[in-house]
Amino acid sequence: MKKEPNLMLLIPYPSENISTVKKDDGLIRIKITRKGLLFKILKFIFYNVPENITLDLDEVGSAVWELCDGKNTVYDISIKISDKFGQKVEPLYPRLVKYLKILKENNLIKFKDNGGNNMSKLDNLIDSWKDEIVEETRNLIKIRSVEEKAKDDRPFGDGPYEALQYALKLSDKFGFTTKNHENYAGHAEWGQGHDIVGILVHLDVVPEGTGWTYPPYEAKVVDGKIYGRGSSDDKGPTVAAMYALRAVKEAGIPLQKRVRIIFGTNEESGWGCMKHYFDEKKEEVPVMGLSPDANFPIINREKGILIFNIEKKFESRSEKVNIKYMKGGQRPNMVPDYCEAGIEVKNELRDEIRQRFNNFIKDKDVHLELSDSIDGFIIKSHGVSAHGSTPEKGKNAIVPLAEFLGSLAAGENDVTAFLNFIARYIGKEVHGDSLGIHLIDEPSGDLIFNLGMIEMDEEKGKLVINIRYPVTFKGEDVVKKLESNLVQIDKDLYLSDVSDNPPLYVPADSPLVKKLQKVYKEVTGEEPELISIGGGTYARAIPNAVAFGALFPGKPELAHEKDEYIEIDDLIKCAKIYAHAIAALAGE
């Protein structure tokens, strides 16, 4: 079956037998000249049949007619009529389409194609902007947008503020409508219509950590890759989405929904930006959306995310070794790559501690350092950072240090019990088996457990835990089970500051998923598999959204890791996919 052309992309123009005059009141009078065999027969039979017929148009009809000039597409006409008459012509699209069809059925106008494939136009535009896209991505990466303490009008510190200003300024340059909500979040919008398609991105990044080959905020280009913190998570994809919307705008793709890129600045550490944007400012909620903050093809299942503390107060301590402090990790959703402790020991025990340290590290795959301090030692532990949703890819720096300190602070005391709890019940496990909370379901797989941070002094110890639980469970299921099990392990352990971000699950047969699957296959030629992740994206900030890219299948996952990068070819491909997605979701 031949596919009907999209009327909004066609260009109307007057038929050959039509002439017009503009009357004194500025309105249009159409003069229709009858020609052809049928008219001649009618003229022969009914000799008084007029050769010319006139038709007077009203104000709106006259304005539309003047735009049917062989240059404007129907979409162009709709924009100009809306700008001129506003609410007077609403609902615009159905009225305009009906009017033009009547003109065509009466042979007053004809339509012609706009002379090109719009999808090819999108791709060509994006290819022509390749250098720009790379440069703007580099500029954004160079802003160290790690959350810091709030100051003045900057709720998440200088870096996220500067990144938001940069994104909004670039959006203004592209001709989008922009809005800034007290520097918590902002948006850039293009198109018209009642409904909104949302593209939810974030401009903040996790701390850079150590061990980079290239400086994390230099945005150095090496072998076709842009290196830097945030290159793939989520600044490169953000820029790709912005240029995708620009391409749709400049290609003249008609949109029946508004497209809104929503810029968050606190995704990595709390989502305060989204709470402010939707809950406090009551911004319109998109009817559908995507977040370019994970993997291709399409993620329609995201596990629930729990963040909480496990705490214990110290009523008793080791008489042999006094642990003054232990601190490690930077974010709950990162595998900690560094942890440090300061211990106080008597001088006569120094040699013994050194010997025990050497014995401990001798046959273990750990990286610990021991150095003298005035009253004892400083012990440093080095690990390998990874995203909290994939802790198996990292090496947790907290665990081996806790294991060693637990062996020193011998005896029955609270400090030793706390350290041994870490070593025994957390250790290198990533599913919470020893804690009895390893939940599994068919749609999304295993529960994921990450020990993200530790803060310990002489009075108490606190662990910050990040859990990703399967989509068919509730956060309260995990919390109740864990609390019950902790009582059996150590009655003095307790949970605090529990936060729960429920799972995301969009059915495979939803129109959103089906359209994105079609787009992905058309652009890449690959099968649009639906996948589940443990990571959490802004897709769950609105009711009907999925994560869509930007990491392609088979490429290394480097978010939250050292030497994070995005391949330039992938960045450009992302922009094309997002441009096609915008046209598919907002253009129908």
In order of their start, the domains of the chain are 7-115 (3.90.930), 120-303+505-587 (3.40.630.10), 306-502 (3.30.70.360)
Q: Give the lowest-confidence range in 249-253, 420-424, 433-437.
A: 249-253
Note the pLDDT tens digit of each residue in 59-93: 999 999 999 988 888 878 888 898 899 999 888 88
Mean pLDDT estimate for the chain: 91
Neighbours of 387 (CB within 10 A): 23
- Mean per-residue pLDDT for 201-209? 95
Catalytic residues, by residue number, are 204, 267
Q: Which residues contact 291 (CB under 8 A, 6 or more apart)?
A: 199, 200, 201, 537, 538, 539, 545, 546, 547, 548
Looking at residue 5, its pLDDT comes to 62
pLDDT score for 412: 83
pLDDT tens track for 570-586: 999 999 999 999 999 99
**Cβ–Cβ < 8 Å for 453, 464:** yes
pLDDT tens figures, 345-373 = 988 999 999 999 999 999 888 999 999 99
Helix (H, G, I), strand (E, B) or coil at 389: coil
Secondary structure of residue 573 in the 3-state scheme: helix
Question: Which residues are CB-neighbours of 492 under 8 A, at least 6 positions away?
Answer: 312, 313, 414, 417
pLDDT at 2 over 60: no
pLDDT at 10 over 90: no
Tell me what pLDDT residue 304 has.
94
Alpha-carbon span 148 to 158, nearest angstrom: 7
Residue 532 DSSP one-character state: E
Give the count of alpha carbons within 13 A of 504, CB side only: 26
How crowded is the C-beta side of 481, counted as CA atoms within 13 Å? 15
Note the pTM of the prediction, 2 decimals: 0.69
Indicate if the pLDDT at residue 503 is higher than 50: yes
